Structure 1
Amino acid sequence: MSVAYTNGKIFNGEKIEENKAVLTNNEVIVGVVNANAIPSQYRTEDLKGFTLAPAFIDMQIYGGNGKLFSQDLTVESLKATYEYCLTGGCAHFMITMATNTIEKFLQGFEVVRAYWEQGGKGLLGLHLEGPYINPVKRGAHLANCVKKPTIQEVSLLLEKGKDVFKMMTLAPEQCDDAVIKLLQQHNIILSIGHSNATYKQALDAFNKGIPAATHMFNAMSPLQHREPGVVGAIMNHPTAMSSIVCDGVHVDYAAVHIAKKVLQQRLFFITDAVAETTNGEYQHLFRGDRYALPDGTLSGSALTMLQCVKNAVNHVGISLEESLRMASAYPAQLMAGSMLGKMEPGYRADFVVFDDALELQRVYC
């Protein structure tokens, strides 16, 4: 079906324009044209004066709408998470499991497959955050499951997780080069996180092809003048990207501003959102603007992707256009050939629509 989205403002990836229309055919973008040049065969979709932008992408979310995936390994849990994502303009998500048993991860792989087989939408794959992290920086992760990797165990994850296991957060100082290379050979997106690496160790890892870091500032060795740590390595490396949790709780807005000033187009948003659960290995308790463990340890956010954008604009001073890129085009860069996150011909016609107050109006996907 050919559809033209018109009578609104269009974010074309660079700027927000009026009197334009987005042409799509069979859920693929054909192009952006003047509003008075829509071909007659296109059905028009009235945007009612609102702004249309590429739908958001969340590379790290653990659950939503009361369902924490690692505690409720069901297709219904993934459906609930997808519905939660949509409330914040996010059409694509990487379901995330924090440090756990290998058996739990293997169960997660099978549930993701079942979700896809049943026609489930939006799910990009599984992001394993751990278990190969540094116990010193484990944060809310399960201490008894943190470990160093073996080739045998990683090979098992790669075999059983084929086409499902897409991303891993790890501490490079805990992993042999052979493990890193094996994961890279299978096109797993690697990200440094929950790491106490020195500046040199982190820089070496980036230079060996690890493209990103996980939730900048949180659970990583800090920037200090005698040991710049993981934070310093992210800042000083020319291409390393990093996610950040823009809620003012995980990271103060001034620190987000500093990170953005240094990293520029290398910084992108994640929600790091969890769901409340009071039983099982992970117990996340809702605390108004965050989630915490029973002992008070910060364990996840209550964000949506649109709220990340809103916070960046209203509290950090990042332009709306750049904030939109941080929620779509930039995370998409980690996934080679995804055809997501841009308003360009050939890209997926998945859109978020919002008003001038940055309140969600609709998601097309």
Structure 2
Amino acid sequence: MQSLQNQNLYLPTGLKSQQDILFENGLIKEIKSNSANVNPQSGYIFPGFIDLQIYGAAGKLFSAEPSLDSIRIIEDQLLRQGTTGFLICLATNTPQVFNQCIAVIKEYRKQARNCLGLHLEGPFINPEKRGAHVKEYIRKASLEEIKALLDFGDGTIKMMTLAPELQDDEVIQYLLDNEVVVSLGHSSATFEEATKAYNQGVQTTTHLFNAMSPLQHRAPGIPTAVFNHPTAMASIIADGLHVDFEVVNVAAKVMKERLFLITDAVTECSSGPYQHVAVNGKFVMPDGTLSGSAMTMLQSVKNCVSHCGISLSDAIDMATYYPAKLIKKEKETGQLSAGAQANFVVLNQQMDIEQVFYKGEEIKR
């Protein structure tokens, strides 16, 4: 039995001091109070972060280099940064690239650690809101294509971003029936169209405010639809560049536990259709179009606290428990509780990472 003693833990009920966390065989066995004096040097222990939309790390953009080595390198880098669960994301691309990436994840899944599967962002989006996505690859889905895609994916496709106003209801229903999380995004849907999609079962929204119909006083758009809906969730990029920090603040106040963090992070790439260039803390395409972020999940949490008026406890939930709940893994990850995986991040008082544990094993940093 391993343990970390007399710690400040972020539990589902909030911050608790003077706690021992005991873990064995990859699982948290017990969390209990410690009556010893508080260690003034002790930092904090968070659950491991969960990022449901990231394209690459450590110089490896997965769609440009779909290989076993690439996903291993991405996993290693993200683990060192405290991300103990992620979906590797593919932007709109050719069927050949999608199939190559899916084939790699299918082969790798028995070895996989923190890679939970694939998030396909496109190609079934609206070209009017394509952002950095390649227009030539965007198309409407057919039910036959979706069936073939999921058959080939064999359970590796966990999430899909699409524009519901351009897709047939039977396509969306088939994805939902096959336990794919459907996210409304890169869409010009009206308030009514977005509300219909959420009522049909579409669970979430991709990078709120970016690449979607805006909130206007005479045309409420997607943001108002997700604000008003009782269950629909949304991801948001809290880098201050994709969304102003004050807007993140407002969204968090309105949506509460329905809003979660993603990095939407990419890495520099000079090959293929997505050639991301680092410029002043962000990534752009060669034509200057804003693409992915340069964020980590920890920096997202820090930004929420420092710039968005969000409490640390809520920001941690946005980076851990809420995304875990969306993908129905909240009992095994995303929180510190007995029976959950021993995935957690140890930070010092300055909120810098000192240790990362994944299934009870410390990750070398």
Shorter-chain TM-score above 0.5? yes
| Range with greater deviation from structure 2 (19-28 or 222-231) | 19-28
Give the Cα–Cα distance (whole angstroms) in 2 for the partners of residues 77 and 14 of structure 1: 38
The one of 238, 247, 252 aligned to 2:239: 247
Give the Cα–Cα distance (whole angstroms) in 2 for the partners of residues 63 and 134 of structure 1: 24
For the pair 1:223 / 2:215, whether they are aligned, the reply is yes
Look up the match of 1:135.
Answer: 127
| Range with greater deviation from structure 2 (308-317 or 102-111) | 102-111
Look up the match of 2:268.
Answer: 276
Look up the match of 1:14.
Answer: 13
The alignment of Structure 1 onto Structure 2 pairs a total of residues equal to 355
8 Å CA contact retained: 1:7, 1:48: no
Q: CA deviation at 1:84?
A: 2.7
For the pair 1:100 / 2:99, whether they are aligned, the reply is no
Aligned partner of residue 95 in structure 1, secondary structure: strand
One-letter code of the match for 2:32?
V
One-letter code of the match for 2:264?
D
Q: CA deviation at 1:231?
A: 0.9
The one of 292, 303, 306 aligned to 2:295: 303
8 Å CA contact retained: 1:59, 1:95: yes
One-letter code of the match for 1:26?
N
Give the Cα–Cα distance (whole angstroms) in 1 for the partners of residues 319 and 40 of structure 2: 21
8 Å CA contact retained: 2:190, 2:213: yes
Work out the percentage of aligned pairs sharing the same amino acid.
44
Give the Cα–Cα distance (whole angstroms) in 1 for the partners of residues 309 and 350 of structure 2: 15
1:23-62 mapped onto 2 (5 Å cutoff): 23-35=22-34, 49-62=42-55
Q: CA deviation at 1:48?
A: 6.4
Give the Cα–Cα distance (whole angstroms) in 1 for the partners of residues 178 and 313 of structure 2: 34
Aligned partner of residue 310 in structure 2, secondary structure: coil
The one of 78, 86, 94 aligned to 1:85: 78
Q: Residues 185-240 of structure 1, C-alpha deviation per residue, up to 9 Å, x if partnerless? A: 11001100000000000000001111100000000100111111111101111111
For the pair 1:195 / 2:180, whether they are aligned, the reply is no
8 Å CA contact retained: 2:50, 2:86: yes
One-letter code of the match for 1:251?
V
Look up the match of 1:264.
Answer: 256
Q: CA deviation at 1:47?
A: 12
Aligned partner of residue 326 in structure 2, secondary structure: coil
8 Å CA contact retained: 1:8, 1:47: no
Look up the match of 1:147.
Answer: 139
8 Å CA contact retained: 1:7, 1:47: no
Look up the match of 1:40.
Answer: none
For the pair 1:360 / 2:359, whether they are aligned, the reply is no
Give the Cα–Cα distance (whole angstroms) in 2 for the partners of residues 297 and 266 of structure 1: 29
What are the ranges of 5 or more consecutive residues in structure 1 without an aligned counterpart?
Answer: 38-45
Q: CA deviation at 1:96?
A: 0.3
Give the Cα–Cα distance (whole angstroms) in 2 for the partners of residues 267 and 53 of structure 1: 18
Aligned partner of residue 240 in structure 1, secondary structure: coil
Aligned partner of residue 19 in structure 1, secondary structure: strand
Give the Cα–Cα distance (whole angstroms) in 2 for the partners of residues 18 and 92 of structure 1: 26
8 Å CA contact retained: 1:63, 1:80: no
8 Å CA contact retained: 1:285, 1:294: yes
Q: CA deviation at 1:114?
A: 2.4
Q: CA deviation at 1:297?
A: 0.4
Give the Cα–Cα distance (whole angstroms) in 1 for the partners of residues 73 and 244 of structure 2: 29
Q: CA deviation at 1:87?
A: 3.8
One-letter code of the match for 2:227?
M
Give the Cα–Cα distance (whole angstroms) in 2 for the partners of residues 87 and 22 of structure 1: 21
Aligned partner of residue 338 in structure 2, secondary structure: coil
8 Å CA contact retained: 2:320, 2:335: yes
Q: CA deviation at 1:31?
A: 2.5
1:176-195 mapped onto 2 (5 Å cutoff): 176-195=168-187
